Amino acid sequence: MIRLRSIINIITFPGVIIHEFAHKKYCDWTGTPVLQVCYFRLGDPQGFVVHEQPEELSAAFAISAGSLIINTLCGMALPLAAFLFNLFSWQFFMMWWIGISAGMHAFPSNDDALNFKQQVRQHRGRISLLFLFSILFQAIIRMANALKFIWFDLWYASAISLAGPVYFGLIPMPSFIQAIARYAAGALR
């Protein structure tokens, strides 16, 4: 029997493609040789990038965090760009669909976290700010993936996709967010 999560992953396949593309580009940008790329397939994992192990912890971090950065930017920019089209056009809905899909697949997978953890272990003797940050980053990745059972990825995608249109006044800010913003502004005075 096909699980609901599998169906959602198939529907949001553009986010998987963007996720793997981000890993591939960060491998290229850090000079890490890529051995194999699969941008999307039916199965588990839905996509992957097999690469050699980066020499520097900063490169390993960039490759692991690349999908979070690129997918989040796409998840914010595409829904904002959707407003260039007629509100009920297929282009408008296509931009929102790809944006939400990108946001839902923004967080690195547990395999990405495991690969990064192995790289961190090799650098354990060298304490640096990046090393300390990498421990926090790894915990955030694992927590975000663990929270998928309450649809954290959909909540994240929804939040980032609404950020740009709300900020630029293209859609009204929900009243509860306005109340929070007024409270925060009053507390800062």
User: 63 pLDDT band (50/70/90 cuts)?
Assistant: very high
CA–CA distance, 187 with 189 (Å, rounded to integer): 6
* For residue 19, pLDDT beyond 50: yes
Residue 188's pLDDT band (boundaries 50, 70, 90)?
Answer: low
**What whole-number percentage of the chain has pLDDT above 90?**
54
* More confident of the two residues 164 and 129: 164
pLDDT value of position 1: 42
The percentage of the chain sitting over the pLDDT mark of 70, rounded to a whole number, equals: 93
What is d(CA 40, CA 89) in angstroms, rounded to the nearest whole number? 27
C-alpha span between 34 and 54 (Å, rounded): 10
Residue 43 confidence (pLDDT): 82
* 74-84 pLDDT tens trace: 999 999 999 99
C-alpha dist (Å) from residue 189 to 125, 176, 180, 186: 45, 20, 15, 5
* SS3 category, 38: strand
